[in-house]
Amino acid sequence: MPLKINPIKLIEHGVVAEIRQDVVHVTGLTNCMNGQLVNIGVSAQGVIVGFDPDYVLVLVVREGAPIKPGDAVITTIDQFRVPVGERFIGRRLNALAEPADNGGPIREDGANPIFGAAPGVLERVPLAQVLETGTKIIDMTLPIGMGQRMLIIGDRTTGKTTVGVDAIMNQKGKDVVCIYCCIGKAEAALAKVTESFDKGRVWDYGMIVAATASDPMGQQYLAPYVACSLGEYFMYTKGRDVLVVFDDFTKHAWAYRQISLLLERAPGRDAYPGDIFYIHSQLVERAGKLNAARGGGSMTHLPIVETLQGDVAGYIPSNIISMTDGQVYMNSLLFGEGFKPAIDMGLSVSRIGSKVQWKAMKKLSGMLKLEYVRYKELEKLTRIKAGVSGEVERRLNRGKVLEEVLKQDANEPVAMEDEVMILYALERGLLDKADPPQVRGILAEFIRRVRTRHPTLPAELSQKKELTEPIKEALNNELAGLSHTAV
């Protein structure tokens, strides 16, 4: 029989010296390391976040019984790990990956370090596959690749969460594991997302990791790391595709600032600690697409950042813009005008470009952005002048029609096949004579016709990703049929 040796576990004992809100000073720990989990007193837990010549700084992440000076602190020399596994899908979790719903305990498949390392350069491959977000403007003009980090940025209530949640809802049946990570938002905002999860039956393939504004500061700080760890299980161990929405990084920066001030770290710009850039880049670096040898999985990050009066040059926004592969800019003026989703195409960019797009989409959407931006300029110019010439009138009307094509309701993601069909119809002149208010109806009728009369066409389009002759012919037939009946 092989000899069985228990691995040696080094256990250390320390003592609580001082308590400052969420931060505890502990003396007597000589062999600990940053990011390590410690047990404090009867039932509290904390993470080591810093060192001083005389004591160790511990951030409380679980408030059990009240902590008093003199309480014992026990550590085991190991990284802070959270349980991960298949059965976390369908659950609402707190920032320590523990169930926060009524579903009972979760049997884990393993444990991942929360401060996991990012995939190395040699383990990565260029992004090649598109993540279908179901938001028309994004899929058409700002394609997101699987493994990309795309920032969603904008003022308060401009529809940021909606874009993120729609992207999650649109992954239904696409074999992508989705994680919505709530950081420091109100319970009510989280309840709305949960509702969308119910409505879209997202629980079959998604989970929520939440630290709301009422949770301890330590949990708000940890939530995004834990969301990454849970995602990494699927990316590394299962070779699957993962999508994580972080809502939002502004609150995460606030939580970290507050913690740092308690730690008496020197405040830097806007009172944020000097390593705030590192904190966020360390998180988004964990996204990526792995090579075949590593299983071929991917993790896409959609961090959300809230701006103040559209100020993208603020410290936190400009930091995060510089570490992501593009941004979706939500404009409060557009939102006010009723253009929803209020994505400002002039200020949004995807640095992955159209490489990952479907061939059909790339071809059809080429001029879209330019045409729209030109229309907005023309609209601005003609706002002051009354009475415009016939040609300008025609161009304005076409712009308005285009606007109608791009609008969509919240929580109703559009399938990529439908988006391609819509653009094809637009190119073939289906909407040339339409009034803007009719656009929605005409397009819905067109899609309905195609889907009922050619039930296999959408799947074929989705598989081929380009407009083959038979597909074009079928679409042309329906377009012709429609222009006889409707317009």
List active site positions. Answer: 351
Cα–Cα distance for residue pair 102/80, rounded to 1 Å = 25
Query: Which span sits near ligand ATP by CB under 6 A: 151-159, 383-391, 429-437, 439-447?
Result: 151-159
By a kind-dependent CB cut-off of 5 to 8 A, residue 408 interacts, out of ligand ATP, Mg ion, none, with ligand ATP
Q: Which of the ranges 96-104, 110-118, 123-131, 154-162 carries the binding residues for ligand ATP, by CB under 6 A?
A: 154-162
CA 167, 168, 171, 175 torsion: positive or negative? positive
Residue type, 206: G
Cβ pair 97, 226 in contact under 8 A: yes
CA distance 410 to 401: 20
Q: Which of residues 273-332 bind ligand ATP (CB under 6 A)?
A: 306
156 part of the interface to ligand ATP, by CB under 6 A: yes
Q: Is 177 helix (H, G, I), strand (E, B) or coil?
A: strand
How far is Cα of residue 209 from the mean position of the Cα atoms in its chain? 13
State the residues that interact with Mg ion by CB under 5 A.
161
Residue 192 in 3-state DSSP? Answer: helix
- Radius of gyration of the chain, Cα coordinates, nearest whole angstrom: 26
Q: Min. distance of Cβ 187 from ligand ATP in angstroms?
A: 13
159 is a contact residue toward ligand ATP (CB under 6 A): yes
Instruction: Count CB atoms within 10 A of the CB of residue 324.
Output: 25
Q: Which listed option, Mg ion, ligand ATP, none, makes contact with residue 409 (CB within 5 to 8 Å by class)?
A: ligand ATP
Q: How many angstroms separate the Cα of 373 from the Cα of each of 346, 390, 400, 436? A: 6, 20, 12, 18
Least separation in angstroms between CB 189 and ligand ATP: 6
Binders of ligand ATP among residues 395 to 454 (CB under 6 A) are: 408-410
Determine the residue type at 179.
I
Among 45, 75, 112, 161, binds ligand ATP (CB under 6 A): 161
CB of 254 to Mg ion, least distance (A): 15
Q: Name which of 56 and 178 has its Cβ closer to Mg ion.
A: 178
d(CA 299, CA 227): 11
Minimum distance of Mg ion from residue 158's CB (angstroms): 9
The site partner of 325 among Mg ion, ligand ATP, none (C-beta below 5 to 8 Å per kind) is: none
Q: Does 199 interact with ligand ATP (rule: CB under 6 A)?
A: no
Token pair, residue 32, equals 């600990």
Binding site for ligand ATP (CB under 6 A): 154, 156-162, 189, 306, 340-341, 408-410
